[in-house]
Amino acid sequence: MTDYSPPHCHKQNFQTSQLASKAKSAFTLVELLVVIAIIGILVALLLPAVQSAREAARRSSCQNNLKQLGLALHNYESAHKRFPAGQAMGFGVNGNQGCLGTLPMILPFIEESNLQDALDFSKGSYDQPNYTVTATQPEIIVCPSEQRQVNLEAGWTNYHANAGSWSAIAGWDGVFGPIIEEAGHRPLQGIKLARILDGTSNTVALSEVRNGKASELSGSDQKDELTDCFDFGSAPSGNNLATVRAAFMNKDWRNASIPTYAGDFWRLRGHPWSEGTMWRTWYNHLLPPGSVCWRTDNEWWELVSPASSYHRGVINSVMCDGSVQSVSEDIDPDVWTNLGTRDGLPEFRSAGGGGRG
């Protein structure tokens, strides 16, 4: 039978079918929300993995920095038959402000000869031209994980020189120290490898330390457990390392004050990178990595300055043989102290004065 229905009826049926098809293919609000939620869950699952991969890369880069610095120390030793000293000249000698430290001495061995040539080693770290010159911060002396890249006139470093166990009980029994007497402790010149009786593979040369919070010198912001140092009061008494160590470990930093210098809260660990002092670019091994920094008896040379880092649970160190180690914050404290000395655990004596140096 012939179909006599009007042509527009077929057109209308086609349009209705097309609209229905479109309606079926469109997302409902509920479906859209489910998709968004799934995407959110996937991002939440992937983000930690991405962050972990990035931190692993930064940690590897940090280890490479220390490897290069360890190589520089050995190249210096090959040229001079000894490691560089902790200082190029005594602190404040001839009225100089500060003193240049270990890193400026090894600059030619990290391809920074021009930077060293611009320094005046007869002057201090805060004297000109040195302070202006050290506004240049070699990339190799800062850990990529460092979270405080504060702009001051001079640059920073995370890689601090090993000054031993703690000067208050053993003098300068590590690898670096002051070249003149400080706080009653005998000076320490640049040492020959033969003086490292524990062996170069068993003695740390440099370790990581977090930079201070110099951008908040007012001290009005929150104290920080690992970037700030705190006043302890009188040095703890005791007749063994464990007793003295426990006194520091059990002290609550939240109830302690940040030291002041020239009217400001002192928050300058790691700055400037050129200076060689206990409070700027040295650290010690009395307390395990990740412990709090303490000043006793208002004496800066007897600062207890532990290693620290932004790598979760570990810090990187370069040994005196040039090898790089990742050290757990849970390391046995005596083992860590032993790694910081040239000749075994220190012969214990009461804090203050003397020491084998």
| DSSP-assigned letters across all residues of 164-182 | -S-HHHHSS-SS---SS-B
- Give residue 86's pLDDT band: very low, low, confident or very high (50, 70, 90): very high
The pLDDT assigned to 92 comes to: 87
User: Is the confidence at residue 13, as pLDDT, over 60?
Assistant: no
Task: Quote the Cα angle for 183-336-191, to 5°.
Answer: 55
Q: pTM for the complete prediction?
A: 0.83
- Among residues 202, 228, 225, 196, the alpha carbon closest in space to that of 215 is found at 228
Q: Which amino acid is at 64?
A: N
User: Is the confidence at residue 182, as pLDDT, over 60?
Assistant: yes
Answer for the pair 299, 285: CB distance below 8 angstroms, yes or no.
no
The pLDDT assigned to 50 comes to: 64
SS3 262: coil
Measured CA to CA, the distance from residue 100 to residue 103 in angstroms comes to 8
Domain boundaries in the chain? 60-339
Give the model confidence (pLDDT) of 183-233 as tens digits: 999 999 999 999 999 999 999 999 999 999 886 555 556 889 999 999 999
